[in-house]
Amino acid sequence: MSDHKYKFGNLHLKNAKEVSDYTTKVISETENLITNIIPDKIFSLEKLDKEEFHQYKDISTISKDIEILTDGSQMKNNGGAIVNDTHTNIKKRKLDEGQEELTVTKPVPCNMNLIRLIDLIKPEIKDVIEACEKIKMWISLLIPRIEDGNNFGVSIQEEVLNEVHRIQTESINYLDTISRYFITRAKIVSKVAKYPFLDDYRRAVKEVDEKEYLNIQFSVNEIQSHYMLILDVVSKNYEKIKKPRSSNNIESMY
């Protein structure tokens, strides 16, 4: 817990006390985040990995054959057998050449196994991104005013800032990977609908699902590693982060 009151140099701020109290609160909450919340996160992610991902030791079980119609009255079930469908789910559209194009109207569901895992990991990604943002603000508020000399401690603060920013950027990329998965899978499923007689497209759906499963599991392990790296770099440089110079840095900022 921080026992200092934050001051904005010689600025005469409106609501100066409230701003100072809020800034001091941010510093205090971030130090609590580092010392108490992040250690808990490390073990909760380990539990998540064991409980949710170890059930898929055979990675092929993460994906099932998609149910999609092959003509106006038939579709394949998960076992690959042909079953009758009394209610047609395909519309025929006339092309300019007089040919007919089949259009699937029945919704093709997402991979619900992956949806469940994605819904579990996205809040964790959000938490690590927010944690990095708070730590970046914490360090920035502790950087003393710019002056000549005695900047070794400041350079350490900047190095830690860069490392936390790198971790945050990598974590944001996990969300991009999830978005790309749905777009990629949708394109392949549309190919299955258009060319139901090509088994390669059906296999491609399974390959994309399995790849995304590995990406999600990798993300869980990486987020856990990110928290470990944050604790490591902050703990090794804590004194210099808090007091980069001999003067009381909490009373000034640039």
Q: Indicate whether 218 belongs to any domain.
A: yes
Q: What is the pLDDT of residues 23-38, one digit of tens each?
A: 899 999 999 999 999 9
Domain check: are 103 and 157 in the same one? no
Residue 252: per-residue pLDDT: 43
Alpha-carbon span 34 to 29, nearest angstrom: 9
Interacting residues of 171 by C-beta distance below 8 A, sequence separation 6+: 125, 128, 129, 132, 223, 226
Domain check: are 192 and 239 in the same one? yes
Domain check: are 93 and 195 in the same one? no
Domain check: are 45 and 94 in the same one? no
The three-class DSSP label of residue 3 is: coil
Q: What is the pLDDT of residues 168-184, one digit of tens each?
A: 999 999 999 999 999 99
* Integer angstrom CA distances of residue 253 from 8, 120, 249: 7, 39, 8
> Which of 107, 132, 158 is a domain's end point?
107
Domain check: are 134 and 228 in the same one? yes
Q: Indicate whether 11 belongs to any domain.
A: no
Domain check: are 84 and 205 in the same one? no
Domain check: are 95 and 201 in the same one? no
Q: How many domains does the chain have?
A: 2
CATH of the domain at 189: 1.20.120.180
Tokens of 48: 């998540």
Q: Indicate whether 4 belongs to any domain.
A: no
* Under 8 Å between Cβ of 47 and 175: no
Domain check: are 97 and 115 in the same one? no
Q: Indicate whether 202 belongs to any domain.
A: yes
Give phi and psi for 48, each to the nearest 5. -60, -45
Give phi and psi for 76, each to the nearest 5. -95, 140
**Average pLDDT estimate for 54-76:** 70
101 strand-pairing partners: 93
Domain check: are 182 and 82 in the same one? no
Q: Map tokens 């987020």 to a residue.
A: 223
pTM over 0.75: yes
Q: Is the pLDDT of residue 73 over 60?
A: no
Domain check: are 73 and 161 in the same one? no
pLDDT tier at 248 (50, 70, 90 boundaries)? Answer: very low
Residue 77 is part of which domain span? 67-107
Interacting residues of 126 by C-beta distance below 8 A, sequence separation 6+: none
Rounded to the nearest 10 degrees, how much is the dihedral formed by the CA atoms of 98, 100, 103, 104? Answer: 170
Domain check: are 164 and 238 in the same one? yes
Spatial CA neighbour of 128 closest among 94, 175, 89: 175
Tokens of 218: 């990798």
Tokens of 69: 């119609």
Tokens of 119: 């819904």
Domain check: are 155 and 42 in the same one? yes
**Helix %, strand %, coil % of the chain (to 5):** 65, 5, 30
Q: Indicate whether 9 belongs to any domain.
A: no
